[in-house]
Amino acid sequence: MKWLFFLLVLLNIGSVTWYSLQSQSSEISDEIYAPPTSGNIFTLDEMLELGDKFQQPKTVVEKLDISLEGNKLDPAPILKKEPTSTQKEKDVTVKLVCPTIYFEKEQEKLSILNKLQSKEFVIKEYQTSGEREKFWVYIDAPEKREQAINIVDQLKLKGVDSFIINRGEMKNRISLGLYSTAATANAEKNRIAKQSGLIVKVFEHTRNVPLSVLEFEEGVTENEWRKFLSSLDLNKMMIKLEKNSC
* pLDDT score, position 88: 47
* In contact, 178 and 162? CB cutoff 8 Å: no
- Residue 43 covered by a domain: no
Residue 169's pLDDT is: 84
Residues 6+ apart with CB under 8 A from 220: 96, 97, 98, 99, 121, 228
Q: State the sign of the Cα–Cα–Cα–Cα dihedral 87, 92, 93, 97.
A: negative
Is 169 part of any domain?
Answer: yes
Query: What's the pLDDT at 37?
Result: 53
Percent of the chain with pLDDT over 90: 45
Q: 186: domain CATH number?
A: 3.30.70.1070
Give how many domains the chain has, as a whole number: 1
Higher pLDDT, 242 or 9: 242
Tell me, yes or no, whether 26 lies in a domain. Answer: no
Is residue 68 a part of any domain in this protein?
no
**What is the domain range of residue 194?**
96-245
In this prediction, residue 87 carries a pLDDT of 47
Q: pLDDT class for 180, splitting at 50, 70, 90?
A: confident
Does residue 190 sit within a domain?
Answer: yes
Length of the chain: 246
Phi-psi region of 55 (alpha: psi -120 to 50; beta: other; left: phi over 0): beta
Residue 77 above 80 pLDDT? no
Q: Does any domain span residue 198? A: yes
